[in-house]
Amino acid sequence: MANHKSALKRIRNSEVKRLRNRYQHKTTRNAMKKFVETTDKKEAEKLFSGVISMIDKLAKNNVIHNNKASNLKSNMAKHVASL
C-alpha cells in the first residue's frame, strides 16, 4: 500500500479515470454496433456524425490509438456509402 499522500491521491484519480474511460469506450462500442446494424441510409447518416465524434474523443484522450480511430472511421464511412 502507498505511504505518501500524493500516491494515495494518484490511486484515487487513476481509478476514477479508468472507470470513465471504460464507460466511454463501452458506450462508443455499443453506438458503433447500433450503427453497423442499421440498414436505412438516412438513419445511418444521422448516427454517423455522432459515432465519429465519440471515436475522436476516445482517440484524443488516448483510450484508443489514433490509427485505430482512423480505421474505424474509414470503415464507418464505407458502411454508409454501401447502403
Q: How many CB atoms lie within 10 A of CB 67?
A: 9
pLDDT value at position 49?
94
CB 76 within 8 Å of CB 48: yes
Give CA–CA dist 51/56, Å, rounded.
Answer: 9
Q: How many CB atoms lie within 10 A of CB 10?
A: 12
| pLDDT exceeds 90 at position 1 | no
Give CA–CA dist 78/16, Å, rounded.
Answer: 35
Question: In which band, very low, low, confident or very high, does the pLDDT at 2 lie, cut at 50, 70 and 90?
Answer: confident
pTM: 0.85
Mean pLDDT of the chain: 95
Domain ranges of the chain: 48-83
Give 48-80 pLDDT, tens digit per residue.
Answer: 999 999 999 999 999 999 999 999 999 999 999
